[in-house]
């Protein structure tokens, strides 16, 4: 597991470096400032934080600044040049489909890394009926994935728009059931 994360992270750093065209920056004394927005602080981004802590970005000539930012704000900030990269996969694809000019540089994972977490007394999907489900941001990828999951797993029983209520939490909160 550790070597896989290390390999994936190194691949991310190399892709980012190549994209920035910083073959010279890797050998330069001054680091190139790169601003990355992530949708939430989550385990999925551990390889990025590991690389930051281990100095891998700096070794490649990059001074990486990470900000947790709501998806809609990160897309706008990318468009205005306030940030350089976003790690908001689903939202970025939706923006690109609507004509926003962006390019996929690197994918950290090959599947959607979502977890549905509940209190211990919720033992199965059937027990979600009538419960409130929190999401990081309404209309964002985690909520869309959750709706699709609920429709697929319990067709006819759970209709996310009727049987569950989305609560708006801060953008840095993970998906949780209350």
**Does residue 69 surpass a pLDDT of 70?**
yes
**Is this structure's pTM higher than 0.95?**
no
pLDDT at 77: 93
3-state secondary structure of 38: strand
For 92: left if phi > 0, alpha if psi spans -120 to 50, otherwise beta; the answer is alpha
CA 34 → CA 73, 75, 141, 159, distances in Å?
A: 17, 16, 25, 42
Higher pLDDT, 44 or 107: 44
Q: If we measure between CA atoms, which residue out of 70, 115, 75 comes closest to residue 93?
A: 75
Question: In the structure, what pLDDT confidence band is assigned to residue 178 with cuts at 50, 70 and 90?
Answer: very low
Residues above pLDDT 90, as percent of the chain: 20
Per-chain mean pLDDT for the chain: 74
Q: Which residues pair with 135 in a beta bridge?
A: 168
**Does residue 20 surpass a pLDDT of 50?**
yes
pLDDT, tens digit, 9 for 90 and up, residues 105-128? 777 666 666 777 888 898 888 887
**Does residue 175 surpass a pLDDT of 90?**
no
pLDDT, tens digit, 9 for 90 and up, residues 81-99? 999 999 877 777 778 878 8
pLDDT at 58: 95
Domains of the chain plus CATH, in order, are: 2-97 (3.40.190), 125-177 (no CATH)
pLDDT at 80: 93
């Amino acid at each position: 597991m550790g070597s896989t994360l290390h390999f994936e992270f190194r691949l991310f750093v190399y892709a980012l470096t190549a994209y920035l065209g910083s073959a010279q920056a890797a050998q330069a004394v001054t680091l190139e400032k790169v601003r990355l927005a992530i949708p939430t602080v989550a385990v999925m981004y551990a390889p990025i934080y590991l690389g930051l802590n281990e100095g891998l970005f700096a070794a490649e000539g990059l001074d990486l600044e990470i900000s947790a930012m709501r998806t809609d704000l990160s897309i706008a900030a990318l468009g205005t040049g306030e940030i350089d990269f976003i790690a908001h996969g689903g939202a970025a694809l939706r923006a690109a489909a609507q004509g926003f000019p962006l390019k996929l540089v690197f994918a950290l994972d090959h599947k959607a890394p979502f977890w549905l977490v509940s209190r211990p007394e919720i033992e199965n999907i059937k027990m979600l009926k009538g419960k409130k489900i929190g999401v990081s941001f309404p209309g964002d990828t985690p909520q869309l994935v959750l709706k699709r999951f609920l429709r697929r797993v319990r067709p006819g029983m759970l209709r996310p728009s009727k049987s569950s209520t989305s609560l708006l939490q801060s953008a840095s909160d993970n998906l949780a059931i209350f």
